[in-house]
Amino acid sequence: MVRENQVSTDMLIQPYFVIEGDGPNVPVPSMPGVERVTINSLIKQAKTVHDLGIPLIVIFPVTDDDAKTDDCAAAYSPDGLAQRAIRAVKEAVPELGVMTDVALDPYSPHGHDGLMDEKGYIVNDATVEVLVKQALSHARAGADVLGPSDMMDGRVGQIRTALESAGFVNTRILSYAAKYASSFYGPFRDAVGASATLAGANKYSYQIDPANSDEAMHEIASDLQEGADMIMVKPGLPYLDIVRRAKETFAVPTFAYHVSGEYAMIKAAAQAGWINEEQVVIESMMAFRRAGCDGVLTYYAHDIGRWLASENKLS
Ligand code: PBG
């Protein structure tokens, strides 16, 4: 009765790495328990998580090398992998929310989230033009929530304007407003095949310096002013101070991304028998809640859904 926060399935967003073809799913070695899934398998899993009460999934395409070009044109192809996956899920499980990743890293030969100039610098404004096309292609395919994770300046405003003028007035923007240049993204980059293309490069010229907190507040303020409906802090547990500050400052729907490196750390310790996986994950979700999160994007969403469902059966 006196418990201040609850962990529930309706706070969860389940991510999926999606691959082409009808072959078997492909495990991600640095994320035991996570697989890259075909569209057919995605549909089955989407039904399961929907039945567990998870309201939203997010799709990350794992693109083939021939889809990677300097202009990143495959990002907005109406028949691209992401666009087909969105349509397939919305057709099979219409009530399940589908979110997308708006960023160019699966489509660029260098693994960066934007277009690169001759000097190797990521160019903001030209990138935003491509992001707008990508966002519109996701909305046309039926996406409910767009997640710009690229960290270019001004993209939320331009995506919002384009959505409005194309009639997508109900498509939400969950902006990765405070995304840090973090080393916790390593396993994700393995999963989508970006580690090899990035070849040790970093994203410091457009993601936030982990030393900064005021800067995150400026980034969030500008995304909200440009029309973001919800905001994301990323990574998760090491950045709960940012979540708390954001929630107190802006009082908008606030999400955190419990990222791949955080998943891998818990998984590795659990596999070694050093911690109790379920308890550590639930406690982590409680920590997100306590910090002020409305929801959490986590690779553990499906597991948490199962754990909570079996607890409910017991009580
Ligand atoms: C790229 C993107 C990244 C993640 C989500 N979208 C990686 C990056 O910025 O390099 C990382 C998520 C995770 O680590 O789980 N647009």
Summarize pLDDT for 283-304 with one digit per residue, the tens.
999 999 999 999 999 999 999 9
Q: Give, using CA atoms, the residue closest to atom 8 of ligand 1.
A: 185
Q: What's the confidence (pLDDT) of residue 315?
A: 57
Is 234 noted as a catalytic residue in this protein?
yes
Nearest in space to 5 (alpha carbons), one of 297, 311, 292, 247: 292
Whether the per-residue pLDDT at 176 is higher than 70: the answer is yes
Residue 213 identity: S
**CATH code, domain carrying 94:** 3.20.20.70
Give the chain's domain count: 1
Q: What is the extent of the structural domain holding 145? A: 9-197+212-314
- Alpha carbon distance 162, 155 (integer Å): 10
Q: What is the pTM of this model?
A: 0.96
In a domain, 204, yes or no: no
286 lies in some domain:
yes
Kindly state whether residue 4 falls inside one of the protein's structural domains: no
Q: Using the atom order of ligand 1, give the atom closest to the CA of residue 113.
A: 16
Q: Is the pLDDT of residue 142 over 80?
A: yes
The answer to whether 119 is a known catalytic residue is no
User: For residue 198, which atom of ligand 1 is closest to its CA?
Assistant: 10
Q: What is the pLDDT of residues 1-22, one digit of tens each?
A: 999 999 999 999 999 999 999 9
Q: Is residue 207 part of a domain?
A: no
262 lines ligand 1 (CB under 6 A): no
Residue given tokens 């997100």 in the structure block: 288
* Cβ 255 vs Cβ 293: under 8 Å: yes
- Would you say residue 140 lies in a domain? yes
- The pLDDT of residue 311 is 86
Within-domain flag for 283: yes
C-alpha of 133 from chain center: 19
28 CB under 6 A from ligand 1? no
* Residues 236-279 pLDDT 10s: 999 999 999 999 999 999 999 999 999 999 999 999 999 999 99
Question: ∠ at Cα 179 (6, 283), nearest 5°?
Answer: 25
d(CA 233, CA 243): 6
Burial annotation 84-95 (CB, 10 A radius, 16+ → b, else e):
bbbbbbbebbee
Mean pLDDT of 120-145: 96
Exactly one of 68, 90, 203, 234 is catalytic; which is it?
Answer: 234
For residue 1, tell me if it sits in a domain. no
Dihedrals phi, psi of 58, to nearest 5 degrees? -125, 140
Task: Tell whether ligand 1 has an atom less than 6 A from the beta carbon of residue 180.
Answer: no
Q: Do the domain assignments include residue 66?
A: yes
